[in-house]
Structure 1
Amino acid sequence: MSEYQYVSVQDVARRAAALQREAAEIDSYYELDEIQLVHRYDEIHALEQLPLFEEQRQLVAFISKALLERIEHKITPSFRRQLEQEAQLTNEPEEVTWVN
């Protein structure tokens, strides 16, 4: 089975246009709150799993870096602790005790 997937010309064009728009909106990241930044990063990061041309891959990396830098500056220490706690709970779920 081939590792290549069929991608329509319309999908490629749509993805390229979306990446160009996102790159043009990097300055607007300063207006987003922490949650919006994290959601936007998740959406961009998901694109790395798709078949991309090298130019698109570089654009995704550029946008991801900009988002990560903005997240780093925007996240307050209390929000950072909350994210770390949620990550620990996700990685090490607590044992559930049923009480009758």
Structure 2
Amino acid sequence: MSEHFHAKYPLGRGRDAALKREVAGIDSYYELDEIQLVRRYDEFHTLEQQPLLDDQRQLVDFVIKALLTRIEYKISPSFRHQLEEEAQQTNHQQEHING
């Protein structure tokens, strides 16, 4: 795990403060582009895998839901359709290989 991650989301009370700052800044997600949103989601997905206190887990879940909602809104319908087609092709190829 990167040092940036540990610096941004330290253990203990520092993590509580960092999560509360993130929740307070959720409105800033509207200013992020798709790549930034996905990177932020990846950070929180990594954090979600860590041992968390109940209140920390609730904050992480809240942020992840906000990020997913924003990502879904931000991705254009045509791009979403392209991603769905690629996923179907990949699934079809894997089914063919696994036979």
What TM-score results when the alignment is normalised by the length of structure 1?
A: 0.69
Q: What's the RMSD between the two structures over aligned residues?
A: 2.2
The answer to whether 1:73 aligns with 2:73 is yes
> 1: distance between equivalents of 2:90 and 2:64?
23
In the alignment, which residue of structure 2 is the partner of 1:42?
42
Q: Percent identity?
A: 67
> 2: distance between equivalents of 1:59 and 1:34?
22
Unaligned runs of 5+ in 2: 1-9, 95-99
In the alignment, which residue of structure 2 is the partner of 1:4?
none
Where has structure 1 moved over 6 Å in runs of 4 or more?
A: 88-94
> 1: distance between equivalents of 2:80 and 2:58?
28
Q: Which has more radius of gyration? A: 1
SS of alignment partner, residue 50 of structure 1: coil
- After TM superposition, give the deviation of residue 11 of structure 1 in Å: 1.9
The answer to whether 1:25 aligns with 2:29 is no
Matched positions, count: 85
In the alignment, which residue of structure 2 is the partner of 1:60?
60
> 2: distance between equivalents of 1:93 and 1:18?
43
Distance change >3 Å, CA 42–CA 89, structure 1 → 2: farther
> 2: distance between equivalents of 1:23 and 1:87?
32
Unaligned runs of 5+ in 1: 1-9, 95-100
